[in-house]
Structure 1
Amino acid sequence: MVLNVKQTSVHKKVLIVTYYWPPAGGPGVQRWLKFVKYLPDYGIGPIVYIPENPNYPIIDSSLISEVPDSVTIIKKPISEPYKLAGLFSKKKTKTISKGIITNDNKQSSLEKILLFIRGNFFIPDARKSWIKPSVAFLKDYIQTERIDTVITTGPPHSLHLIGLQLKQKLQMNWFADFRDPWTTIGYHKQLKLTKRAKNKHKQLETDVLRQADHILVTSQVTKDEFMAKTNKPISVITNGYDVNHVAKPELDSQFTLAHIGSLLSKRNPEILWQVLSDLIAENPGFASDFKLNLVGFVSEDVLKLIDSHGLSNYVNKVGYVSHEEAVMFQKKSQVLLLIEIDSPDTRCIIPGKLFEYMISERPIVALGPNGSDIETILRETNTGSYFIYNDYVALKKQIELHYNSFKNGSLHANGIGLQKYSRKALTKSLAELL
């Protein structure tokens, strides 16, 4: 199905192949929704190819209003195994599709089976059945519409295989956009991959990296990794922030620490829970003022560890909210938490919410692995502090400093050099490459 709508005056048409698109919620949809919004300003007309009947784990209907009137959207049906698997265990299937995977020693037999099937029978991922029909349709569409540039964005990395096969059939320019790495992404270790499956992933990744005309990545760490695997040009275009029209709310009257986004089983810093527990025990004022807002899906493993440190009475478990509501929490919270898994594999992960955090004018406290790109950005923009998982003394001192500033009414952040992370500035960089 093709939705033809009015096009603005453009000099070049670009086909964007993406799985995540409104009404999908979560971070995966934001990057290309914003690029599509601003590309026409630079003389480029985006055409977006998406599944007609996707199985989105998170829905945010408010994002539909952000789809520009000028864009042409093409939809074709997709068959996904999550729907079949859901007949056996709807709860487990939905949880896994959100990326929330229980720790190995706590997995049920059914969960282990589902992960094994997902990892070894659906390579590179559960959307692989969309490759063949998409290539057949897009091959004719690209020729008919005289499109000379195609962009695929993953994960799911099966979309890059659509680009790969189109590249092999047509004379076209192909950009492969990696929002996350492929074979080095942390969750691969939890998919119970056989040796054969691991080798298959590596071969497909190599094929994409070596045959795409240009590679886009969201972090310098990923660029460094890919440079060892291909001699094709690689450009870093991070995620960013967009102008939002959410009125600035009053700050919370309590000393709120807010985490916006999913807290997976392994994104669970005991050092933070210990620091907060100790501050509550040592300082009656802190105990009276403190609240922990968890906005988004939270793993049971995280909630149990928080409870074991006596923090349950201080937790406000908000759950998933619309993007607009998430922005509201960012602006009114006293301190914003950014938590990444403590693993070298996550050094390249820069959550999209970081950039929205940065323009909220609230101080950020981030935890993650040593050598993370997040640390570099926070330092360069003066928007927050970064800690590794064994930095108890420094983390506790920083939260105490923020609490004291809160008490005397001087708690805020003074960001610098943020303009280069605006979605429009980032789209200009992309347009120049195109």
Structure 2
Amino acid sequence: MKKVLIVTYYWPPAGGPGVQRWLKFVKYLPENGIEPIVYTPENPHYPLKDTSLEAEIPSEIKVLKNAIFEPYAVAGMLSKKDTEKISSGIIPKEQKQGFLQKFMLFIRGNFFIPDARKFWIKPSVKYLTSYLKEHEIDTIITTGPPHSMHLIGMELKKTMGVKWLADFRDPWTQIGYHSKLKLLPASRKKHQELEKEVLQSAEKIITTSFTTKAEFLSKTKRPVEVITNGYDVEKVEKLPMDEKFSISHIGSLLSGRNPENLWQAISELITENEDFAKDFQLKLVGAVGDPVLESIQKWHLEEWLVLKNYVSHSEALQLQKSSQLLLLIEIDSEETKGIIPGKLFEYMVSERPILAVGPVDADIEKIIRETNTGSYFLYPQKGEIKAYILEKYELFKKGELRSYPIGLQQYSRSALAKRLANLIKQL
């Protein structure tokens, strides 16, 4: 069985979407002839934790841990709230930022390149050089963000000649929040140079979206493959369906994900339809940016709003399956059209219709359309959004609201791991 070392920052007890991808790959790679060994920090600063995920780590998997120094731990002494928001990608609009937030963003963008985990690169290279030699492992995979993980892989390839596969769960210089980091010209150039060097050094590159693949192919001649995130068959206790006509968003709603026309459409339906007003409920589960809450207040939706803080992955799955309609929102930007949230695939197998709002030519539109799991709208399409919600509400009243997906098997974690194993064997 071929051994492969996986370098990942996010690993249980980390919560959020970043941990799911490789936790699931590790589960299914052995049945495809690959023995994964995971390398991860011993004392990481995770903005979200989900200890329930530790039970999902296969008992036979070797997990190596090494200490990491992170500036976020020091920054937290100044402002724990601001530190956790910035480290998880929740960045307020420029006019909403206080002095401390602006200062922290400037420091993060210009002094910690490519990111605040850069101090783990040298000790990791030293530790792994000995381990790879001792255990005769010649293949490594790095997954980012944080993209400093890729610099570990690049250095090991230079010094040891290992085969290296770089997995990008999100873009690098084109990621949505990159433009908010107050980068100086020299810092921006450094990010671009490091990205290019990584893309031109790895044997193979994996992206989670078709748009990111196209972007990377314009920067490298190395092979680029798309292996999206996916769904697993999860055994969770099934909750009763919500008695209310619930529209639920499960996961963080960052500041830029704020479709005013959606909130206005709901507000109009409440005003125009007495039955809808009695039956409706808006659920937001996870961290919610202040601009989103302000917009909800602007359209007088507080009475129908239910807020829940971050929940465990198993509880998130339960909430998805018990909600009437699932909400997926992406930032309305050219930079985000290639973002495919991991929760999309869990949404798709929940048998609940999806209402998605995002930018023009988004990858998520293609997947939702091809799998018949919901409808996708652009931010300005208030009338179309309103008509869709009303259509689903009428089905809800008849007891006939559900989705009818097709072709989902290709997105199962098992099928995706098989594709990944084939790529590894080709290295």
Task: Quickly name the TM-score band, shorter chain normalised.
Answer: over 0.9
- 1:203 corresponds in structure 2 to 193
- 1:366 corresponds in structure 2 to 356
CA deviation map 1:238-267 (0-9, x unaligned):
000001001332211110000000011111
Number of aligned positions between the proteins = 424
CA deviation map 1:19-69 (0-9, x unaligned):
000000000000000000001101111000000000000000000000001
2:220 to 210, 227, 230: 230
1:253 to 243, 248, 266: 243
- 1:172 corresponds in structure 2 to 162
CA deviation map 1:298-337 (0-9, x unaligned):
1122111101100011000011100000000000000000
Q: TM-score, normalised by structure 2?
A: 0.99
- 1:138 corresponds in structure 2 to 128
**Aligned pairs (5 A) from 1:251-290:** 251-290=241-280
- 2:287 corresponds in structure 1 to 297
What secondary structure does 1:245 align onto?
coil
AA of the residue aligned to 2:347: Y
2:393 to 377, 390, 403: 403
**Aligned pairs (5 A) from 1:15-414:** 15-414=5-404
Runs of 4+ in 1 over 4 A off after TM superposition: none
Pick which of 375-384 and 293-302 moved more.
Answer: 293-302
Structure 1: runs of 5 or more not aligned: 1-10
AA of the residue aligned to 2:28: Y
CA drift at 1:171: 2.1
- 1:6 corresponds in structure 2 to none
AA of the residue aligned to 2:74: L
- Identity among equivalent positions (%) equals 60
AA of the residue aligned to 2:66: K
* Aligned CA-pair RMSD: 0.6
Q: Distance in 1 between matches of 2:56 and 2:236?
A: 14
Q: Distance in 1 between matches of 2:286 and 2:94?
A: 23
- 1:4 corresponds in structure 2 to none
Q: Distance in 2 between matches of 1:403 and 1:87?
A: 48
CA deviation map 1:392-411 (0-9, x unaligned):
11111100000000011110
Q: Distance in 1 between matches of 2:243 and 2:269?
A: 19
CA deviation map 1:349-395 (0-9, x unaligned):
00000000000000000000000000000000000100000011111
Q: Distance in 2 between matches of 1:256 and 1:287?
A: 12
What secondary structure does 2:238 align onto?
coil
What secondary structure does 2:29 align onto?
helix
AA of the residue aligned to 1:132: K
Q: Distance in 2 between matches of 1:93 and 1:231?
A: 38
Q: TM-score, normalised by structure 1?
A: 0.97
